[in-house]
Amino acid sequence: MAASPAVAALPDMLLKPFNQSWERPLPANASRLGPVWLLLACLSLAVSAPAQTGPASLLTPAVPVSVTTSHPSGIYRVNEPIVVRVQVLHPATNPVRLINYSVKLHGARPLAGGPLELNNGTAAFTTRLTEPGSLLFTISGTNASGQQFSTLAGAVADYREIRWPQPLPDDFDAFWDAKLAESAQLPLHAREERVPWTAERGIEYSRVTLDNIHGSHIYGQLAHPRQPGKFPAILLVQYAGVYALKRENVTGLAREGWLVMNISAHDFPFDLPDSEMQKLADGPLKEYTTIGQTNRETSYFLRMFLGCQRAAEYLTTRPDWNGRVLVVKGVSQGGLQSIVAAALNPRVTAIMALEPAGCGNTAQALDRAWGWPYWQAHAQGPEAAKIINTSRYFDAVNFAHRVNCPALIGPGLMETTCPASNVLAMANRLRGPVEVLILPEAGHQAHNDKRGETPFNQRSAAWLQALKAGAAAPVETAHP
């Protein structure tokens, strides 16, 4: 079989025809585990760091090898050789003599792969991209204990030129403008309940409930400095799953001088007992992303997305907002909601989306990987066409052209949950100033390893510091 025109690889690579069998069936508890379930391993030699708020990590066998690319950044030019090196970490005590590797264009189309022998604990292969895009490398084998392991690495070439060739639905903007008009007729009816809290005298902490469409509600936590004043505002939006919101999500930023609101994606109080959360996760919300999936009017995401817009609107009505800074920030599902909030509410002044989900729901038609919330996985049987059509109205790629504020976007190259090519295609559709920070060691891997996200966290901290001081978003476009 001839090599794909998009990638040239070494002659001894085994080329495989494309099929979509790379996507495994969703486990029954996928909605409860959130977006981390699919990726089963992470790069080794990771420094353990406190996890950001996220689902519990999955237990996986130790990965006895490290995988690196010839450019540590993972960033290349089209036609530039990409050398991938595999190194056994402890060859004396954990010998690995044979691995299997695969190379996938846009995270989906198998281009090359097969067994690879290690010589003195090392092996390498070379490939290249001949068009703008991303590659996903999978390295697997068996460790000294007989356990199978798998780890990922990735690369991109000319990522600013990655495009999404599919057009918007003809009535995409008309649909969402109509929903905004409908939402505007519904008063927010904000209820704020102060929560006694003596841990810090200088911070006010509250529960907030807002009305939302179809008789639903938005439940969130709010914190701000106790002293009188007007503050920059930030809305935090949540990753996938069913769980309680922790108080420290908002109190830390309030301590730094922010008016902070953090909202649940679901229509129930955010601080229910764990036993009640578990009942919801195992019951009515077990597969919440599929609720109403055959119709844009009934999709679970309709209420969720309008809830983000209304929460942002609520912050602008508060007398303690400074009237200038309104940031929306999230990871994964929260990254998706951040993009949507800015697309639906022009008063949002900046967004920060780490490994945003929901980009490229119809990627299979482009021979690209499709990720969370896995519309394609559920598009089976007689309702398949309706599900796919509905997904287009809830795709971050299609919202991007409505976003005019500065955006910090962090795609991970170790991604199967939020594929890099789709995230980059979305970022290239944004209308405002955009800083794309490629994260070569980030993905929805075990959440006790956050090293790969550190550069994004550092940049987002710099953005927040500048915005709080009244400066413009410090967008850097000089990344390689």
Domain identity same for 147 and 202: no
User: Where among 161, 190, 206 does a domain terminate?
Assistant: 161
187 lies in which domain range? 172-468
| pLDDT at residue 408 in the model | 98
Domain identity same for 176 and 217: yes
Whether 22 shows a pLDDT value over 60: the answer reads no
| pLDDT at residue 410 in the model | 97
What is the mean predicted confidence (pLDDT) over 209-229? 96
| pLDDT at residue 101 in the model | 96
| pLDDT at residue 201 in the model | 79
| pLDDT at residue 449 in the model | 55
At 26, the amino acid letter reads: L
What percentage of the chain exceeds 90 in pLDDT?
A: 78
Task: Identify the sign of the CA torsion 168, 171, 175, 181.
Answer: positive
User: Where among 130, 161, 192 does a domain terminate?
Assistant: 161
Q: Which two structure tokens, joined as six digits, stand for 38?
A: 């699919």
Tell me the C-alpha distance between 413 and 422, whole Å: 11
Tell me what the pLDDT averaged over the chain comes to.
Answer: 86
Lowest mean pLDDT among 51-55, 208-212, 450-454: 51-55
What is the mean predicted confidence (pLDDT) over 342-348? 98
The residues facing 261 across adjacent strands are: 222, 235
| Model confidence pLDDT, tens digit, residues 65-105 | 899 999 999 999 999 999 999 999 888 777 888 999 999 99
User: Where among 127, 161, 195 does a domain terminate?
Assistant: 161
Residue with tokens 């499709």: 370
Secondary structure (3-state) at 290: helix
> Residue 28's pLDDT band (boundaries 50, 70, 90)?
very low
Residue with tokens 């907002």: 321
Domain identity same for 214 and 83: no
- Whether 167 is covered by a domain: the verdict is no
> Residue 199's pLDDT band (boundaries 50, 70, 90)?
low
> Residue 146's pLDDT band (boundaries 50, 70, 90)?
confident
Domain identity same for 177 and 153: no
| Model confidence pLDDT, tens digit, residues 33-66 | 333 323 323 322 222 222 222 322 233 457 888 9
At 287, the amino acid letter reads: E
Domain identity same for 423 and 384: yes
Q: How many domains does the chain have?
A: 2
**CATH number of domain containing 406:** 3.40.50.1820
Q: Provide the 10 A C-beta neighbour count for residue 122.
A: 12
Domain identity same for 110 and 89: yes
What letter would DSSP give residue 167?
P
> Residue 479's pLDDT band (boundaries 50, 70, 90)?
low
Whether 460 shows a pLDDT value over 70: the answer reads yes
**CATH number of domain containing 101:** 2.60.40.2550
| pLDDT at residue 445 in the model | 59
- Whether 473 is covered by a domain: the verdict is no
Whether 466 shows a pLDDT value over 60: the answer reads yes
What is the mean predicted confidence (pLDDT) over 441-462? 81
- Whether 268 is covered by a domain: the verdict is yes
Tell me the C-alpha distance between 436 and 427, whole Å: 8
Whether 241 shows a pLDDT value over 90: the answer reads yes
- Whether 474 is covered by a domain: the verdict is no
Domain identity same for 329 and 248: yes
- Whether 77 is covered by a domain: the verdict is yes
Domain identity same for 59 and 176: no
Whether 348 shows a pLDDT value over 70: the answer reads yes
| pLDDT at residue 61 in the model | 55
Domain identity same for 142 and 208: no
Lowest mean pLDDT among 57-66, 87-96, 254-263, 264-273: 57-66
Tell me the C-alpha distance between 192 and 247, whole Å: 15
Secondary structure (3-state) at 296: coil
What percentage of the chain exceeds 70 in pLDDT?
A: 85
> Residue 476's pLDDT band (boundaries 50, 70, 90)?
very high
| pLDDT at residue 197 in the model | 73
- Whether 1 is covered by a domain: the verdict is no
- Whether 286 is covered by a domain: the verdict is yes
Domain identity same for 85 and 185: no
- Whether 60 is covered by a domain: the verdict is yes
Domain identity same for 142 and 197: no
Domain identity same for 19 and 82: yes
Q: How many CA atoms lie within 13 A of 363 on its CB side?
A: 36
Name residues whose C-beta falls within 8 Å of residue 267's C-beta, 6 or more positions apart in sequence: 212, 216, 217, 219, 303
What is the mean predicted confidence (pLDDT) over 205-214? 97
